[in-house]
Amino acid sequence: MTQNKNQDKRRKYSAPVVDGIGKSASRAMLRAVGFTDEDFRKPQIGIASTWSNLTPCNMHINQLAEASAAGADEAGGKSLIFNTITVSDGIANGTEGMKYSLVSREVIADSIETVAGCEGFDGLVAIGGCDKNMPGCMMGLARLNRPSVFVYGGTIMPGENHTDIISVFEAVGAYARGDLDLIEVKQIEETAIPGPGSCGGMYTANTMASAIEAMGMSLPGSSAQNAVSDTKAADCRGAGAAVLNLLEKDIKPGDIMTREAFENAITVVIALGGSTNAVLHLLAMASTVGVDLGLEDFVEIGKRVPVLADLRPSGHYMMSELVAIGGIQPLMKMLLDRGLLHGDCLTVTGQTLAENLADVAPYPEGQAIIHAFDNPIKADSHLRILFGNLAPTGAVAKITGKEGTRFTGRARVFHSEEEAQERILDGTVVAGDVLVIRYEGPRGGPGMREMLSPTSAIMGKGLGSDVALITDGRFSGGSHGFVVGHITPEAAEGGPIALVEDGDTITIDAVSNRIELGVSDGELERRRQAWQAPVPRFTRGVLAKYARTVSSASRGAITDLP
């Protein structure tokens, strides 16, 4: 089989798999899945689908994958759809199963790399819906560094009475407080999740989708579309076609995911009031693509970028309501005009960010979701990177200011999320407590579970302004309150959080960005000498492998550091 030079250039990876007499067996296999003679002369485009019927976030993605495949085929490629996994944080939260959530990010990246690397795809479209899908897809694309586009599966619509998944979690706490009865909780449970799409606030899914669009790795508008909509279907078809354009121009993720692109992503996440998980995932994505990014970069960018979006969990509105007024494109235009974005960054359209935003219309008059620069929700970042004797290598907090900016209280120590949850619901936890949930870090959990159940119980019990919670685990994008996660070094590595005792004084200051344990250095050293590392609970399987290879949360909790 022979090809012209243009086809050869676009078929760098597929040609060695299917060209020539020696690859007759390969072609025979592909004929069985629908290839024709003409198809072998086309660039092969892998469509990585995270479809699964186990969560509303991903239940519709099979249709989106088919639309992306059609777009690639119409543009002159030959598409092949393959699946990777998904898990549901909303289902697993508060259980042992949640240990697998962050682990799934690595499995997704590994599986996309594995399939595309083996099969010789020339370009890729990756479609993600639930939280870990997005960074997992992006890490897989970055490792391969072949022309690629990411597609977000889209946001869910609000439930009855403006409810969402966090409404259900907080209803449990409200029941424990006596504010709701069982029938009322069941009514919220039955109506809060009306259909397909990712959780409806500026939680981790919508945060990461927005970050990826700001980075230039998805088509303009992809992050702010309803899951079931004509615009989302068009986005998918456009993504398939865009990969062929990227192949022609030889534009790869490494050309787009630059240091400046990550700064753009961080800026948009802050302006939107996004999830603390963005810190973890952006660090991981940057490491994968070889960009030097650290916790201090979030500090520096946060000094000049305000929070402008009044979105849940700390605000009032849902992503679908932001979609209705134009999504994040007008916000990005505002930030660009203010000098807060790098407009010369390349994107998957083949144009720069500034070129993509040139004709974007402003938000409609009278909208209340996105504030003006002279009336911000918060004048600087809500993502606070804290250091101190309790977190020598850093911790991450989400403090909007509504919770206050400083908290001092007495430690109440728990060795698991479940233990803390029980004590919150039974009334043991009281005003003035700083809950310390430890041995939930990447290595110690293992898996760095989200503390959504405890934080939701705190809010539901009406203690949101009266207690703080710190952990070497992490938080759902739906968590709010005075909470600090990603404390490093983690307890399982003998970090200071392992040495805290009940009754110790802990001070969290989100202005000076400090987190301090009121214990002398001498006493801490005495405790350190007496501390013993816990025996690993998991010795075989994916959790054991993860615990042996995972890096610190301060470096993104990745498993393939060189």
In SS3 terms, 130-184 reads as CCCHHHHHHHHHHHHCCCEEEEECCECCCECCCECHHHHHHHHHHHHHCCCCHHH
Q: In what order do the strands lie in the sheet with 78-83?
A: 78-83, 44-49, 123-128, 148-152
Domain chopping of the chain, boundaries: 43-157+195-357, 164-194, 384-555
Are the C-beta atoms of residues 140 and 48 closer than 8 Å to each other?
yes
Known binding residue 236? Answer is no
Q: Which residues contact 292 (CB under 8 A, 6 or more apart)?
A: 259, 286
The radius of gyration of the chain from alpha carbons, rounded to an integer in Å, stands at: 24
Residue 140: Cβ-neighbour burial (10 angstroms; 0-12, 13-18, 19+): buried
Location of structure tokens 């203690």: 463
Distance separating alpha carbons of residues 509 and 406, to the nearest angstrom: 4
Say which amino acid occupies 453: S
Show the low-confidence residues of the chain (pLDDT under 70): 1-7
Give me the pLDDT at residue 1, please. 43
Give me the pLDDT at residue 3, please. 45
Query: H-type helices in 273-305, by residue range?
Result: 277-289, 295-304
Q: Which whole-number Å values give the CA distances from 202 to 153, 349, 385, 477, in the listed order?
A: 15, 25, 20, 7
Token pair belonging to 115: 């399939």
Give me the pLDDT at residue 491, please. 98
Beta strands 391-398 and 383-388 are antiparallel
Whether 210 is catalytic is no
Q: Which residues contact 240 (CB under 8 A, 6 or more apart)?
A: 45, 47, 67, 68, 69, 70, 71, 72, 73, 74, 75, 77, 79, 125, 149
Distance separating alpha carbons of residues 513 and 491, to the nearest angstrom: 21
pLDDT digits (tens, 9 = 90+) for 302-349: 999 999 999 999 899 999 999 999 999 999 999 999 999 999 999 999
Known binding residue 345? Answer is no
Are the C-beta atoms of residues 398 and 480 closer than 8 Å to each other?
yes
Known binding residue 450? Answer is yes
Known binding residue 426? Answer is no
Distance separating alpha carbons of residues 154 and 133, to the nearest angstrom: 12
Known binding residue 89? Answer is yes
Q: Which residues contact 46 (CB under 8 A, 6 or more apart)?
A: 79, 80, 82, 115, 116, 119, 121, 123, 124, 125
CATH second-level architecture of 384-555? 3-Layer(bba) Sandwich (3.50)
Location of structure tokens 């456009």: 238
Distance separating alpha carbons of residues 132 and 105, to the nearest angstrom: 5
Tally Cβ neighbours within 10 Å of residue 351: 14
Give the active site residue among 49, 148, 167, 476.
Answer: 476
Give me the pLDDT at residue 406, please. 95
- Phi, psi values for residue 36, rounded to 5°: -115, 175
Give me the pLDDT at residue 5, please. 47
Mean of the per-residue pLDDT values of the chain: 96
Distance separating alpha carbons of residues 148 and 6, to the nearest angstrom: 19
Indicate yes or no: pTM above 0.95. Answer: yes
Distance separating alpha carbons of residues 115 and 372, to the nearest angstrom: 46
Strand partners, 155: 198, 226
Distance separating alpha carbons of residues 37 and 300, to the nearest angstrom: 55
* 409 membership: H or E segment, kind and range: strand 406-414
Query: What CATH topology corresponds to 43-157+195-357?
Result: Rossmann fold (3.40.50)
Query: H-type helices in 310-463, by residue range?
Result: 319-324, 329-337, 353-357, 417-425, 452-460
End-to-end Cα, the chain, rounded Å = 40
Tally Cβ neighbours within 10 Å of residue 532: 7
pLDDT digits (tens, 9 = 90+) for 115-165: 999 999 999 999 999 999 999 999 999 999 999 999 999 999 999 999 999
